[in-house]
Amino acid sequence: MVLKWDGHTHTNFCRHGSSSSMEEYLEQAIRLGFQRYTFSEHPPLPAGYIDDLPLMNQLAMKEEELPLYFDQARKAKERYEGRIETTIGLELDYLPEDPDFALRLVDKYGERLEDVVFSVHYLPGIGGNQCIDYTPETFMDKLIKYYGSMDKAAEEYYNHVEAAIEWAADLPCRKRIGHINLIEKFRLALPELDETLVTRRLNCILPKLAAAGAGVDVNTAGFRKPTCERAYVPEWFMGECLQRGIPLVFGSDSHKPEEVGSGWDWFEKTVAQASKRIGENLEKR
Please report the pLDDT score of residue 188 as a whole number.
98
Sheet of strand 248-251: strand arrangement: 5-6, 36-41, 85-93, 115-119, 174-177, 215-219, 248-251
Residues 246-264 have a mean pLDDT of: 98
pLDDT digits (tens, 9 = 90+) for 256-267: 999 999 999 999
At 173, is the pLDDT very low, low, confident or very high (cuts 50, 70, 90)?
very high
DSSP per residue over 96-159, as a string?
TT-THHHHHHHHHHGGG--EEEEE--EEEETTEEEETTS-HHHIIIIIIHHHSSHHHHHHHHHH
- Residue 204's identity, in one-letter code, is C
Enumerate the β-bridge partners of residue 89: 40, 115
Kind and range of the H or E run holding 177: strand 174-177
Per-residue pLDDT at 52 exceeds 90: no
CA-based diameter of the chain, in Å?
58
Encode 154-187: b = buried (16+ Cβ within 10 Å), e = exposed: bbbbbebbbebbebbeebeebbbbbbbbbbbbbb
Q: Judging by beta carbons within 10 Å of its beta carbon (0-12, 13-18, 19+), is residue 97 exposed, middle or buried?
A: exposed
Per-residue pLDDT at 285 exceeds 70: no
Whose CA is closest to 97, among 177, 180, 176, 167? 167
CATH number of the domain enclosing 190: 3.20.20.140
At 279, is the pLDDT very low, low, confident or very high (cuts 50, 70, 90)?
confident
pLDDT digits (tens, 9 = 90+) for 93-108: 999 999 999 999 999 9
Other C-beta atoms lying within 10 Å of the C-beta of residue 262: 17
pLDDT digits (tens, 9 = 90+) for 15-46: 999 999 999 999 999 999 999 999 999 999 99
Containing domain of residue 221, as a range? Answer: 5-284
Helix axes 100-109, 66-79, angle to 10 degrees: 50
Number of residues that make up the chain: 285
Please report the pLDDT score of residue 80 as a whole number.
98
- Structurally, how many domains does the chain consist of? 1
Please report the pLDDT score of residue 284 as a whole number.
73
Whose CA is closest to 214, among 259, 237, 257, 245? 245
Share of the chain above pLDDT 70, in %: 99
23 vs 112: CA distance, rounded Å: 19
